[in-house]
A = this chain, B = another copy of it.
Amino acid sequence: MTRQPGRNLPIGVFDSGVGGLTVLKAIRVALPEEHLLYLGDTARLPYGTKSARSVLRYATRAVAHLQERGIKLLVVACNTASAVALDELKKTLAPLPVIGVVEPGAIAAVRTCPGGRHLVLATEATVSLGAYGKAIRELDSKASVIELACELLVALAEEGWTQGDVAEGIVRKYLDAHLEQDPSSRPESLILGCTHFPILWPVIRSVVDDSIAVVDSAMTTAVVVESYLRDRGIANAGGQGSLKLLATDGARRFARVGGSFLGTPLSVDDIELVDL
């Protein structure tokens, strides 16, 4: 394999806030030798309740910053931005490769339940675009998809109330109507279509019985990234990878909330503020 220019450059990982750290964590596990440059657009979060126009504008500005710093690949680790802006970002950043999280999530769901009934939990913006429905039906014309906006789960994850009665009550309130259906129409897979939701996995699992598969796009996205780099010979080899965290606002809050998403405590000094 020839040594490609740029293989030592970091992988850029972009999100509206801290949720994308669940994807970053999966990439770190899969690719421990890679340098990772994360940008959370905390000054403009959440994207999930904003219009497509605003999300596109914010995301374009943010990823341009990552491109200027020098990256070899961009991961849009935000379901809303992936749903709204992925095609546009690919055009803007070309020839830089761009990988979103919706398609990997759809691939994982279709592999888990071919021809199945899928229930997607996501933000309002992702749901209003029907992004998962489109991606899944393109891969599997027999699949059926219901997309459900669950904004309160975002706030719940950010507040760190990831277990207990309140968390369970909120999850049940969103899901009960779907889970109580007749087995012939009940969902067979539940897709965590927002990067905030993996930290709620234990409470979701406690509400959803084992007959329903819970699909999280973070790990699938990491696998897609790994394949992409290896196929093109631009994976970093040898030595320990590194992690650099950027945010557009609120380093203290980013450290506190982000630590729980990353699964590693963060301090304010770990975050570099950038003004976009």
Contacts and interface: CB of A to CB of B under 8 A. Distances in A.
Contacts of A165: 169
Interface stretch (A48-56, A81-89, A110-118, A180-188): A48-56
A156 B156 CA distance: 10
Q: How many copies does the complex hold?
A: 2
What size tier do the contact residues of chain A reach? 20 to 34
A166 B170 contact: yes
A54 B276 CA distance: 11
Nearest to A49: B253
B43 A249 contact: no
Contact of A50 (B152, B166, B250): B250
A51 B249 contact: yes
A4 B159 CA distance: 49
Interface string A142-167: 00000000011011101101001110
A124 interface: yes
Given A151-B155, A159-B151, A250 B49 contact: yes
A25 interface: no
Nearest to A172: B166
A129 to B, nearest CB: 13
B151 A250 contact: no
A152 B169 CA distance: 14
A-B complex: 8 closest residue pairs judged by Cβ atoms: A155-B155, A166-B169, A51-B250, A54-B249, A152-B159, A51-B249, A152-B155, A169-B169
